[in-house]
């Protein structure tokens, strides 16, 4: 079940998101012709044709490499740890041509960037230098069911030093643009994490990572950043 809002002045984003999530669909608010074309034409296949259902992603970080981490967004999609292997627990569906991006902010162990005191007892105080797979930053697990099946399949992959890049500029344009979008969302919510991250920096990252933009979606995002900066100042 997907939920689309039309017109102006009657937006209830929270209700739309709740209904769409309970119906394993998507939510969109259509207020321009360009948005209608995006939702009803370009993205139609990802809404109508499900290729995987009850998709769950679980990421385990290695405390020998990562001292702190946080997932940006997905507050309404969080699952309990024990629910990952439980096929009776409902999760999101993935449609044809649909992609999912999750951004984690991490603090490497020993970097000096920690914002939370280390635990006296527990995982954070354990020296894992001698354990297997100590070179891994994280271990990613994905569970999904085929549309006509009720038993999930499991995919796993480690994140190691081989996945590192030497600088932010070496990341792909899609990755860098995603970071700009995530920062913009946090900025609009006035989160502490972006207190020293101004709209000008978001604009700089997004402009450099604009890349191919055949439908003008990224150009529209840049316009939104300019508008937010003009209304709220470059705070």
pLDDT per position as a tens digit, 138-196:
999 999 999 999 999 999 999 998 999 989 999 999 999 999 999 999 999 888 888 88
Please check whether residues 84 and 151 belong to one and the same domain. Answer: yes
Q: What does the mean pLDDT of the chain come to? A: 85
Please state, as a whole number, how many other Cβ atoms lie within 10 Å of the Cβ of residue 194: 20
Largest CA distance in the chain: 60
The reported pLDDT for the residue numbered 143 is 96
What single-letter DSSP state applies at residue 50?
A: E
Please check whether residues 176 and 79 belong to one and the same domain. Answer: no
Whether 12 has a pLDDT exceeding 70, the answer reads yes
Please check whether residues 158 and 182 belong to one and the same domain. Answer: no
Whether 233 has a pLDDT exceeding 70, the answer reads no
Please check whether residues 137 and 188 belong to one and the same domain. Answer: no
**pLDDT confidence of 34, banded at 50, 70, 90?**
confident
Q: How far apart are CA 109 and CA 3, in angstroms?
A: 43
Examine the fold and report which residue of 116, 138, 163 is the final residue of a domain before the chain moves on. Answer: 163
The reported pLDDT for the residue numbered 125 is 47
Q: How far apart are CA 177 and CA 179, in angstroms?
A: 5
Please check whether residues 136 and 180 belong to one and the same domain. Answer: no
Tell me the pTM: 0.78
Whether 31 has a pLDDT exceeding 80, the answer reads no
Please check whether residues 74 and 22 belong to one and the same domain. Answer: no
What single-letter DSSP state applies at residue 117?
A: P
Please check whether residues 55 and 155 belong to one and the same domain. Answer: yes
Please check whether residues 88 and 31 belong to one and the same domain. Answer: no
Residue with tokens 């409902």: 90
108 vs 7, more confident: 108
Backbone phi, then psi, for 208, in 5-degree steps?
A: -70, -25
Please check whether residues 122 and 158 belong to one and the same domain. Answer: yes
Total domain count for the chain?
Answer: 3
Examine the fold and report which residue of 138, 163, 188 is the final residue of a domain before the chain moves on. Answer: 163
The reported pLDDT for the residue numbered 223 is 94
Please check whether residues 76 and 148 belong to one and the same domain. Answer: yes
Q: How far apart are CA 206 and CA 179, in angstroms?
A: 8
Examine the fold and report which residue of 112, 144, 163 is the final residue of a domain before the chain moves on. Answer: 163
Whether 234 has a pLDDT exceeding 90, the answer reads no
The reported pLDDT for the residue numbered 57 is 94
User: Domain of 130?
Assistant: 50-163
The reported pLDDT for the residue numbered 129 is 52
Please check whether residues 86 and 129 belong to one and the same domain. Answer: yes
Q: How far apart are CA 4 and CA 27, in angstroms?
A: 6
Please check whether residues 74 and 39 belong to one and the same domain. Answer: no
The reported pLDDT for the residue numbered 182 is 94
**pLDDT confidence of 21, banded at 50, 70, 90?**
confident
Instruction: Find all residues with CB under 8 Å of 123, minimum gap 6, and list them.
Output: 63
The reported pLDDT for the residue numbered 232 is 78
**pLDDT confidence of 75, banded at 50, 70, 90?**
confident
């Amino acid at each position: 079940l997907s939920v689309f809002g039309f017109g102006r002045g009657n937006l209830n984003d929270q209700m739309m998101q709740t209904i769409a999530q309970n119906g394993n669909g998507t939510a969109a608010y259509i207020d321009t012709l360009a948005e209608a074309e995006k939702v009803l034409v370009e993205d139609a296949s990802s809404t109508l044709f499900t290729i995987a259902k009850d998709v769950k992603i679980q990421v385990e970080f290695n405390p020998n490499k990562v001292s702190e981490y946080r997932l940006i967004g997905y507050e309404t999609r969080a699952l309990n740890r024990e629910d990952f292997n439980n096929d009776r627990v409902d999760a999101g569906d993935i449609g044809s041509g649909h992609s999912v991006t999750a951004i984690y902010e991490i603090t490497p162990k020993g970097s000096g960037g920690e914002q939370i005191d280390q635990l006296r007892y527990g995982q954070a105080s354990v020296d894992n230098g001698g354990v297997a797979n100590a070179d891994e930053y994280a271990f990613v697990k994905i569970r999904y069911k085929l549309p006509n099946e009720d038993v999930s399949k499991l995919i796993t992959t480690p994140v190691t030093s081989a996945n590192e890049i030497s600088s932010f500029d070496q990341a792909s344009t899609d990755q860098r643009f995603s970071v700009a979008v995530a920062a913009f969302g946090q900025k609009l919510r006035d989160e502490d994490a972006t207190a020293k991250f101004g709209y000008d920096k978001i604009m700089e990252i997004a402009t450099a990572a604009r890349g191919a933009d055949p439908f003008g979606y990224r150009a529209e995002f840049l316009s939104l950043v300019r508008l937010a900066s003009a209304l709220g100042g470059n705070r």
